[in-house]
Structure 1
Amino acid sequence: MHEQPRAKWVLAAGAAVQLLTGIPAAWGIFQKPVMEDYGFSRGQATLGFAILVAAYGLGCLLGGYLQDAKGPRTAGLLGTALLGGGFVAAAFVPQGNAVLFLLIFSLPAGLGSAFLAPSVLACVQKWYADKKGFATGVTGIATGLSGAFLTLFVRLVGGHLGMRICFGALGGVMLAVCGAGAAVLRDPPDQSAVQAGSETDLPPKQMLRTRQYRLCVAAVALAAPPVLLFSPDILSIAAERGLAEELAQWCVVIGSAASAAGRLACPALSDRLGRKPVLYGVYAGLAAGTLAFAFAGGWLVAAAYAALTFFYSGGAAVQPALNTDLFGLKHAGVNYGFIALGMSAGSLLSYAGSQLLPMGARHWAAGACALAGLVCIALVKPLNKSR
């Protein structure tokens, strides 16, 4: 680990950026007011969420290339412009124009969040090369708490002034905070220390040909349905199962807190126990959480949903460290981007499932995906053992 004071500043800046990028975790609080203020159907609002997450996966790839070529600051500042600009633009979408909403909000906001993610993750892992799980966990706490912050922001600003002003105000906050954080990001000056102890540094073309890559991207895709099949509708699900509407909103806040805890605990634990053992627990937890969620009522809905967000976010925070363990740090940004394509696939799969499957079938599908992801992780072996 680099002991220069700048390492702590980079970590703090990365956490500040991530505090405003956890939109998927909070979309449940956006869904209903977006439908009401913009005149969208449930399917249109959910598609906006699905496109945003799919764009995130693609953006991680593009942002990874930019991060590796031009450095984390350039990628981060461009991501800030896309993210904040998308939110500001959403304030001007005409009533009922779902296509324009997708084009000027969902796509740029998803891409912008993704440009920021590999910039932060790759940068902090390089500064904390011997404590990658810890560094990922610290920034992950901010990502998890992002859902709680956005929930409170939407309730206070959107509830009183409407979603258009809320989107514009959020865009301004994102441009200021993420822009300042991205400006601090910089790779460590001593790159030899980053590579110390690394036996493998695969460029993207070689990584894509490995069995390990295919298994990892499949596992990432399969982790999404246990949460994304339900998160856009979590408020209505909670209300249908016995929670009053004003209390149902706390499901998002509680889920966000659990997400933050998962993003801290799982990667830190993986530094001690190993990445794969922790990921076994993550996918087993997703399967068990899906089963509990299927039968939960009242406040148990919030508890079961919190379990799902804990394990989903914990796995998402461990995966970047597993990637660099397998494929090295030299090309961490773009290699992470290729892994994140699994998020795009998982998002689109979840959207299709949420539109085509009744609620009972969604639970079965989510549990099956979690178990299939567990099998994928079990089959991943170090590169030197698979040759």
Structure 2
Amino acid sequence: MREQKQRRLPVVIASIAIQLCLGTVYIWSVFQNGIAQGIFSGRNADAALTFSLLLAVLGFGSIAGGRLQEVIGPRATVITGGVIAGIGFIAASFTSASFPWLLWLTYGVLGGFGMGFSYSTTITIAQKWYPEKKGLITGIIVSALGFGGVVFTPIVGAVIAHFDTGVAGSGELMALRVLGIIFIVVSLIGGYFIAAPPEDVLHGAVSGSGQGESLSPRQIMKDPRFYLLAGSLMLACMGGLMMIGFAKPIAIARGMAKTATVGVLAITLFNSIGRLFWGFISDKLGRKRTVILLLVVTAVLSLCVNLVTGYMIYVLIALIGFSYGGFLGTYPSFTSDLFGVKYNATNYGMVLIGFAVGALASSYIAGYFKDIAATDINLMFPAFIIASAAALLSILLVALIKTKNV
């Protein structure tokens, strides 16, 4: 037992380091204004699509990574993912207003695909090493992703300022190049320590799922619970995704330009805390009850965006991030509880397709209303009304999922 604990600790540490790098996705609002002005001629919806494409493709990358790690192993899969994402970010730094679509292709498609390899694989490997504490260990791993935004926000801000040539977007593009290099280095080093557990531990993880034999990806496609789960995740995350993409612009529009970066830090920090906290709570309360509670909170918070003023906007941003993090800290375990842990890297990747659709929809909706709200941020409020309604509809879908104490 002691030897097993010693062997699994490096896996967790490496997974945390890799997820920290993946967390840079949640600081997109730091890039939003500069990229919108410098690359997309002020079109916020087009700039936000870059962020949402990455999140959308991440789901498909998770599916591919889950299948790939069954063939070449988790170590090679994680390293491959890191290199793909790193190359995507580096290539994105060469985008210009003459061919803005390159940012979608490189940052969005390549970056998301590579990140998906590492995202689902590190989560599932950690769950296999800790079958008795899936909610907690999942929370720890994915909270690192959320905390990555806290770590990298000041770093990226400094890089943007250092390389700003006075041309809109110049510093932001160079920051993407730096992040790409970091991805590759961390993935090469951290990936070396990623390994699957021995058969006895793996058997304990599978039998400890509480649902009998693990279901394969083909099998879950015939299970109505899969569609309810993916659909509920699609709707659940819309409010959080809207705020993540526009936390800084909203703060600026509220007259908080000098401290607007606090909004980014608030949502990334509490996104991280929420993943760990709600992952732990879901072990005690059950996944289904936890998700429903989070949906109720999200529906209420989304309706408060136009009610708060001054520094209270940062409190609201933090609370929305806290709830959003809860979804990402609970759904991986929810998926493995329902369908088993053996194929969870692929199965959860398939559930993330719902997240992908929600990411694309939320970016378009938020970007559309942000363009309308060019001079009056209150005009963006309909986007959050839609997010609130989506959370309420998600409650219905979750309630229909048949579970056994999850």
Fold equivalence (TM over 0.5): yes
What is the aligned counterpart of 1:103 among 102, 105, 108? 105
Structure 1: runs of 5+ lacking an equivalent: none
Assess, with a 3 A threshold, how the Cα gap between structure 1 residues 289 and 24 changes in structure 2: closer, same or farther. farther
User: Counterparts of 1:384 and 1:231 in 2: how far apart (Å)?
Assistant: 32
Match of 1:22 in 2: 23
TM-score when normalising by structure 2: 0.90
What is the aligned counterpart of 1:130 among 106, 129, 132? 132
Task: Report the Cα offset of residue 24 of structure 1.
Answer: 3.5
- Partners of 1:55 and 1:107 within 8 A in 2: yes
* Paired amino acid for 2:292: Y
- Partners of 1:28 and 1:234 within 8 A in 2: yes
Match of 1:211 in 2: 224
Match of 1:371 in 2: 392
How does 1:134-145 map onto structure 2 within 5 Å? 134-145=136-147
- Partners of 1:37 and 1:163 within 8 A in 2: no
- Partners of 2:267 and 2:317 within 8 A in 1: yes
- Partners of 1:266 and 1:317 within 8 A in 2: yes
Assess, with a 3 A threshold, how the Cα gap between structure 1 residues 6 and 361 changes in structure 2: closer, same or farther. same
Task: Report the Cα offset of residue 175 of structure 1.
Answer: 0.8
- Partners of 2:244 and 2:267 within 8 A in 1: no
Establish whether residue 334 from structure 1 lines up as the match of residue 346 from structure 2.
Answer: yes
Per-residue Cα deviation, 1:109-153 (whole angstroms, up to 9, x for no partner): 111111111110110000001101111111122111111122112
User: Counterparts of 2:106 and 2:321 in 1: how far apart (Å)?
Assistant: 28
What is the aligned counterpart of 2:272 among 226, 250, 260? 260
After TM superposition, the structure 1 stretch with the greater mean CA deviation from structure 2, 84-93 or 261-270, is 84-93
What is the aligned counterpart of 1:116 among 115, 118, 131? 118
Task: Report the Cα offset of residue 295 of structure 1.
Answer: 1.4
- Partners of 1:215 and 1:376 within 8 A in 2: yes
How does 1:165-314 map onto structure 2 within 5 Å? 165-190=174-199, 191-198=202-209, 199-243=212-256, 245-314=257-326
User: Counterparts of 2:276 and 2:405 in 1: how far apart (Å)?
Assistant: 29
What SS class does the counterpart of residue 342 from structure 2 fall into? coil
Q: CA RMSD, aligned part only?
A: 1.9
- Partners of 1:285 and 1:307 within 8 A in 2: no
User: Counterparts of 2:355 and 2:41 in 1: how far apart (Å)?
Assistant: 25
User: Counterparts of 1:167 and 1:225 in 2: how far apart (Å)?
Assistant: 25
What SS class does the counterpart of residue 330 from structure 1 fall into? coil
* Paired amino acid for 1:3: Q
User: Counterparts of 2:229 and 2:40 in 1: how far apart (Å)?
Assistant: 39
* Paired amino acid for 2:390: C
Per-residue Cα deviation, 1:153-174 (whole angstroms, up to 9, x for no partner): 2211111112233222111111
Task: Report the Cα offset of residue 90 of structure 1.
Answer: 1.6
Assess, with a 3 A threshold, how the Cα gap between structure 1 residues 94 and 331 changes in structure 2: closer, same or farther. same
- Partners of 2:61 and 2:113 within 8 A in 1: yes
Per-residue Cα deviation, 1:72-107 (whole angstroms, up to 9, x for no partner): 112211110111111111222234421112112211
- Partners of 2:207 and 2:213 within 8 A in 1: no
Structure 2: runs of 5+ lacking an equivalent: 164-170, 370-378
TM-score when normalising by structure 1: 0.94
Match of 1:360 in 2: 381
Task: Report the Cα offset of residue 37 of structure 1.
Answer: 4.5
User: Counterparts of 2:261 and 2:235 in 1: how far apart (Å)?
Assistant: 27
After TM superposition, the structure 1 stretch with the greater mean CA deviation from structure 2, 354-363 or 292-301, is 354-363
Match of 1:149 in 2: 151
Match of 1:88 in 2: 90
Task: Report the Cα offset of residue 20 of structure 1.
Answer: 0.8
* Paired amino acid for 1:43: A
Per-residue Cα deviation, 1:242-278 (whole angstroms, up to 9, x for no partner): 32x1201110001111011101100111111211121
User: Counterparts of 1:246 and 1:140 in 2: how far apart (Å)?
Assistant: 30
Task: Report the Cα offset of residue 194 of structure 1.
Answer: 2.3
Match of 1:59 in 2: 61
Match of 1:7 in 2: 8
Task: Report the Cα offset of residue 383 of structure 1.
Answer: 7.4
Per-residue Cα deviation, 1:348-387 (whole angstroms, up to 9, x for no partner): 11123124445121121010011111221121112799xx
Assess, with a 3 A threshold, how the Cα gap between structure 1 residues 384 and 303 changes in structure 2: closer, same or farther. closer
- Partners of 2:55 and 2:112 within 8 A in 1: yes
What SS class does the counterpart of residue 295 from structure 1 fall into? coil
Match of 1:32 in 2: 33
User: Counterparts of 1:296 and 1:111 in 2: how far apart (Å)?
Assistant: 37
- Partners of 1:44 and 1:98 within 8 A in 2: no
